[in-house]
Structures are given as C-alpha cells and as structure tokens.
A and B are shown apart, each in its own frame.
Chain A
Amino acid sequence: DIQMTQSPSSLSASVGDRVTITCRASQDIRNDLGWYQQKPGKAPKRLIYVASSLQSGVPSRFSGSGSGTEFTLTISSLQPEDFATYYCLQHNTYPYTFGQGTKLEIK
C-alpha cells in the first residue's frame, strides 16, 4: 500500500497567517492527490484536486502544489472559518490512502 505521511499533525496559527501542510507519498503517485477540509461532525470537503487544481467555489487563498512524492497545501491568509482538520488523499493506486490529518487550531 502507498503510505501518505502528512505533516505537521497539528498546527497553531493566527488569523492572517500563511500556513503550509505537506504530504509525502511512499512512491510516485504522479499528481493523483487531493486535499480535503473537515470540520467537526461534517463530511470532508474537497479543496484541491490533481495536486494543484482549485475546486470550484473554494477561495483562492487555498493552493496546492507538487507531483511525484511531495505535495503541499498552502493557505495564504488564514480566515476564522479555515480552522479545521485537513487531509491529503492519494487516488493513484488501490487501496486509496489518506494522510493522518493536520488539525489547524487558533493560536
């Protein structure tokens, strides 16, 4: 199985900060990677697909980059509604695998 190593596992930041979350794949997954935001009690919501394409309706402060084995999600200027848990997902090979998650908390 492809392992997705996501870091950090938690992050404290302030409104207006720029934050970066990283996912590393244990083997080449091309750009078959998505980023998801999940708030408590809710289903995940896709932010980024195929590594760098912004999901329709998602604010442009979210961006993704990378290919192969290294990927990043960047939030350019944190807003109050961005405090949530973020996951990466590789959809290159079954079984699809998620990163462990990054809980983004208010400092």
Chain B
Amino acid sequence: EVQLVESGGGLVQPGGSLRLSCAASGFTFSNYAMHWVRQAPGRGLEFVSAISNNGVSTYHTNSVKGRFTISRDNSKNTLYLQMGSLRAEDMAVYYCTRGGYRGSYDYWGQGTLVTVSS
C-alpha cells in the first residue's frame, strides 16, 4: 500500500525557517517524481515545488523561489521541503504528492500544517 506521511509542520514566526519531511513507503520511491502542494486556510490548491526521481531537476513556483528548496534522499525514501524567510502568505497545509502516470498526482499524504505568526 502506498503511503506518504508528512511531518515537520508547526508554528513559526515571520522570517523563520522550517523543514518539512515526507516519508514514503509501499512503492519504489526512486522511480517517481515528487511534489509539494499547499492549501491556505479556506483556499484552493497550489503547486509549490517538484523534484525529479533522481533529484537532479527541481522546480519551484515563483512565489517561493529563493526561499524554499525541495530535495530528496532516495536511500531513506524521504522527500523534504526546506522553507526559509517565511511569510504570512505561506501559512497553509502542505501536502506531499507522487507524480504518477504522465505526472498526474495519484497519491497524497494527509498534510502538515504550517502556521506563520508572531
């Protein structure tokens, strides 16, 4: 059974940093691109970052470029999102997703909440 379990969310002050993790199981992690998607309270879904299966290629949406870094450790079956210079508008539930057939998100984690507040 495919499982994606996020962790690392919490309360952080504006300007602070946080690292999210996503532990994957039930599939060959190194075969799949992985993504982070977020959802601000009461809002829609927003793509944040993506990383290729081997970690060589990454993509970040414009609003997080230079502040967030996506990475992965295929030996640990774990995806990461290092977030820095956090702003109020980064407050959201962050989901880890798997890029399946032709990149479509086929599995999602349960999400981890990031709260940015002083």
Interface pair B102/A32, CB less than 8 Å apart: yes
Interface pair A49/B106, CB less than 8 Å apart: yes
Complex formed: what's the CA distance from A49 to B101 in Å? 8
Residue of A nearest to B47 (CB): A96
| Interchain residue pairs with CB less than 8 A apart (18) | A32-B104, A36-B105, A43-B95, A43-B111, A44-B45, A44-B108, A46-B104, A49-B106, A50-B102, A89-B104, A94-B47, A94-B59, A95-B59, A96-B35, A98-B44, A99-B44, A101-B44, A101-B45
Residues of B within 8 A of A45 (CB): 108
Residues of A within 8 A of B59 (CB): 94-95
Complex formed: what's the CA distance from A82 to B49 in Å? 30
Name A's interface SS: loop
Residues of A within 8 A of B46 (CB): 98
Complex formed: what's the CA distance from A59 to B93 in Å? 28
Given contacts A36-B105, A44-B105, 7 further A-B contacts (CB under 8 A): A38-B45, A46-B104, A87-B45, A95-B62, A98-B44, A98-B46, A99-B44
Interface pair B61/A95, CB less than 8 Å apart: yes
Residues of A within 8 A of B100 (CB): 49
Interface pair B110/A94, CB less than 8 Å apart: no
Residues of B within 8 A of A50 (CB): 101-102, 104
